[in-house]
Structure 1
Amino acid sequence: MLLERFDNVDALRKELEIIKSTDSAEARTMPSAFYTLSSFHELEKEEIFRKEWVCLGHVGEIPNTGDYFTSELIGEQIIVSRDKENQVHVLSNVCRHRGNLVAQGKGNKRSFVCEYHAWTYDIDGTLKTAPLMKKVKNFDYKKCSLPRLNSEIWNNFIFVNLDGNADPLSPQLKKLDKILHNYHHELRNLLFTEESVWNTNWKNLTENFMEGYHLFATHPKTLQPMTPTQLCKKVPGEDAWTAYRSYYDPSYPPRGPFHEDMTEDEQKNSVLFNVFPSFVIAVAANYTLYLCLRPVGVDKVAIRWGIAGLKEDPNDPEVVAYIDLCKAFNIEDKEKLETLQIAQNTRYYKPGYLAPYDLEGTIWDFLNYMGRKLGSDVDII
């Protein structure tokens, strides 16, 4: 028998409104169309990714003057750069002349040159030269800089807000800062970065990272022996974030070295959290693993992920071993999430109950966040 269909935006928005008024004891999943409906994905692009804070990467990717990397977010081309004054800029990567790209990939430059007509910009986006444009009567160099996008750095992570109207991010994360304080992530060096694309909806990966229920089944040899499902503990979140602690198996070797500020309890767990909508991160006693997620389609997500730690040498055998571990469990997650995306095209799935609070309460927080942004009771212009 075919079940109730949620094959339109209005139906999904109504379901999100209902979720907000549902008691957490009745926490349940969303219909599969939440992850597969193209028109709902278009709504997310405009109402979530254009209006919210989205993480683009780590400051360690651009440590020196002239360093830059490029990115893309819902079709907007972006440059992240560090200028001569050591300031980080998030710029539109579109020439002010005819709209071509001015930079590609990553590297170090003294200036950005559009290869179409050779307009040249300083690393901070200021227009330096525009061949033959002095002959244009009203042309003004000062009015032709690359647009600077609303950006903020929190805990060494670079965030952008495309529409420029979001409330400052850092004040929304003060309680999370207190939880993370003794781990001292800010002292950790960037040791590894990589980019990839998975064939799954961005929400599938966000939810997967943020729940410990799947560890015993999906990661029986990589993560379950170290951070077993049974020892996960939910952390009360707020409107801008959700989190849980993944405690280490007592028989597993200590995960030092530990910062002197860390309590005995903090030495025994990692804090995994989601800064809504799409930044997920695990701060362990010795390393930080993070994933910056950007949708590139209803069934594809771009991932810029990396690892930071107190060690300085990325070739240190311990660092290499941790990177290899992360790659191994990422492969396991990718396999499950790509088959999940295929299965979600069904018309026979009926939303079910979420696992207990400590195991999937973070997903309930995430769904409530989506409800606050996209529920049918929310005015969307």
Structure 2
Amino acid sequence: MVSRIQPKLHSIEAINAAILESASTGLENAFTLPASAYTSAEYFEYELETIFKQEWLCIAHVSQIPKLGNYLSLDVLGEPVMVVRAKDNVVRVLSRVCPHRAMDIMPQGFGYDERGKVRGFMCPYHSWTFDLSGQLKGAPAMQKTCDFSLKDHSLIEFRSEIWEGFIFMTFNSEAEPVATQLADLHTQISPWNMASMDIVAELEWDLDVNWKNMIENWMEPYHHMGIHVKTLQTMMPATGCWTDEYHPHYTRAHLPYRQSLIDSIKEAEAKGEHYGTFPPIPNLPEAYRYEWTVHVGYPDYLMLTGPNCALWYRMLPISAEKIHLVTTILVTKEAQAHPDFEQHLAEETQALKDFHCEDIEVCTAVQRGFNSIAFQHGRMSYLEKPVYQIQCYLADRIRATGNVPAVFLEALA
């Protein structure tokens, strides 16, 4: 018997070479990413520097901090930050690190909640106080320190923008504005007016998977006929799904309803009723009333739009094989005013949990497979076009950051 076991790729250059080669061949000839791209700690650190610290990261929705003084505390790529609605209704993303002695000013171990409402912030170490904009307002016993000025010791503010109601931050001062990068996507999701919607449910998950493993599974419909055969496949058969052409900043896949389901929805509408739980979002274009549309704005804006709600996933990579995931449901205020809203919410939350648990099972098992000596890379179905497009995005990032292996530079010469 001839063994098909091959040595794993370990160097950043070798992994990049494999990605560039596959991305240049077209979907029909492409391979999946090399297994090491999902397991290598060195490659993960490389991705943090060349992708996550260069791009915009979606970290919150405006409905999570609706009033003056509302804050949301989280760690982004190991950086302690907080999203705050400050004076004049300005949303800011501030560092939680005190400029005095580097103390986290809102450590959960000291009784601080992950979210809440405050008038200002006080570091628990030496009681330095800051206003909602991060300006230092008080520093006890510093009067004998030479040339000490309160205005010189504010909390660091990270660059942030609000787009479609979502709060993005970046560590890159030169990143192109979110609105510019996602201008084409804006025209497609603007009918939902998500800035006016509210997050009404959140589920948190700590998963032993690589971030790309999670996103690839999120985007491709091929697995409907497998792990989702009793859930999503009954509504949106895999072979009826399709994906838009490649865009450098996002991928968008369409998951149309089965015709029998469309007929049932139209029958209910003809009777003046609505099908399912939440009432439909008003004024949606005809095509969007009978499909789910799945998006990833690179690298981490995971959004699903449906006829009556939207799902947003906040995915924060922790290590090469760990992520922290928050899955949320967004609905209109009209849906919240419905007399059966609580029942609708319970049903939709359970449905989200059911199919997401199926995804967790396969993603976790796939991650174990990436560590096997029996797997190097695989081939792709035409239904995995989103997976290939993610690969093309990674190839774009490799080229943009100048990490093209020598063999490809020679070919371009």
Residue 210 of structure 2, aligned match among 201, 216, 222: 201
Matches within 5 A, 1:123-202: 123-202=132-211
Residue 8 of structure 2, aligned match among 5, 8, 31: 5
CA distance in 1, matches of 2:116, 2:93: 15
> Which stretch shifts more, 326-335 or 4-13?
4-13
Partner of 2:121: 112
Residue 366 of structure 1, aligned match among 352, 377, 390: 390
Matches within 5 A, 1:26-37: 26-37=29-40
**8 Å Cα contact 1:20/1:372 also seen in 2:** no
Shift of 1:109: 0.8
Note the alpha carbon deviations across 1:309-341, whole angstroms, 9 max, x for none: 122269521122111100111111111111111
The 3-state SS of whatever aligns with 2:87 is coil
CA distance in 1, matches of 2:36, 2:139: 49
Note the alpha carbon deviations across 1:172-208, whole angstroms, 9 max, x for none: 1111111223333333222112332111111100110
Note the alpha carbon deviations across 1:15-63, whole angstroms, 9 max, x for none: 1221332223323201111100110011011111111111112111111
Partner of 2:93: 90
The 3-state SS of whatever aligns with 1:95 is coil
Matches within 5 A, 1:44-123: 44-104=47-107, 105-123=114-132
Structure 2 unaligned blocks of 5 or more: 108-113, 266-274, 405-413
CA distance in 2, matches of 1:284, 1:96: 44
**8 Å Cα contact 2:222/2:238 also seen in 1:** yes
Partner of 1:342: 368
Residue 294 of structure 2, aligned match among 240, 252, 272: 272
1:364 counterpart letter in structure 2: Y
> Which of structures 1 and 2 has the bigger CA Rg?
2
CA distance in 1, matches of 2:257, 2:227: 17
> Which stretch shifts more, 174-183 or 47-56?
174-183
The 3-state SS of whatever aligns with 1:40 is helix
Partner of 1:324: 350
Shift of 1:6: 0.6
Residue 284 of structure 1, aligned match among 290, 306, 316: 306
Matches within 5 A, 1:238-277: 238-252=247-261, 253-254=264-265, 257-277=279-299
The 3-state SS of whatever aligns with 2:375 is coil
Identify if the C-alpha distance between structure 1 residues 237 and 312 changes in structure 2 by more than 3 Å, giving closer, same or farther.
Answer: farther
Shift of 1:379: 4.3
More helix by share: 2
Partner of 2:237: 228
Partner of 1:17: 20
**8 Å Cα contact 2:62/2:195 also seen in 1:** no
Structure 1 unaligned blocks of 5 or more: none
The 3-state SS of whatever aligns with 1:133 is coil
CA distance in 2, matches of 1:376, 1:19: 17
The 3-state SS of whatever aligns with 1:99 is coil
**8 Å Cα contact 2:32/2:379 also seen in 1:** yes
Shift of 1:237: 3.7
The 3-state SS of whatever aligns with 2:229 is coil
**8 Å Cα contact 1:13/1:375 also seen in 2:** no
1:39 counterpart letter in structure 2: E
Identify if the C-alpha distance between structure 1 residues 144 and 339 changes in structure 2 by more than 3 Å, giving closer, same or farther.
Answer: same
**8 Å Cα contact 1:10/1:376 also seen in 2:** no
CA distance in 2, matches of 1:170, 1:377: 22
2:21 counterpart letter in structure 1: I
How many positions carry a matched residue from both structures? 378
**8 Å Cα contact 1:183/1:285 also seen in 2:** no
**8 Å Cα contact 1:15/1:375 also seen in 2:** no
CA distance in 1, matches of 2:9, 2:160: 36
2:387 counterpart letter in structure 1: I
The 3-state SS of whatever aligns with 2:313 is strand
1:309 counterpart letter in structure 2: V
CA distance in 1, matches of 2:389, 2:402: 18
**8 Å Cα contact 1:125/1:148 also seen in 2:** yes
TM-score for the superposition, normalised by structure 1:
0.94
1:271 counterpart letter in structure 2: T
CA distance in 1, matches of 2:291, 2:138: 54
CA RMSD across the alignment: 1.8
**8 Å Cα contact 1:185/1:283 also seen in 2:** no
CA distance in 2, matches of 1:377, 1:159: 22
Shift of 1:81: 0.6
CA distance in 1, matches of 2:30, 2:331: 36
Identify if the C-alpha distance between structure 1 residues 377 and 52 changes in structure 2 by more than 3 Å, giving closer, same or farther.
Answer: closer
CA distance in 2, matches of 1:327, 1:135: 57
The 3-state SS of whatever aligns with 1:251 is helix
2:319 counterpart letter in structure 1: G
Shift of 1:259: 3.8
CA distance in 1, matches of 2:236, 2:34: 30
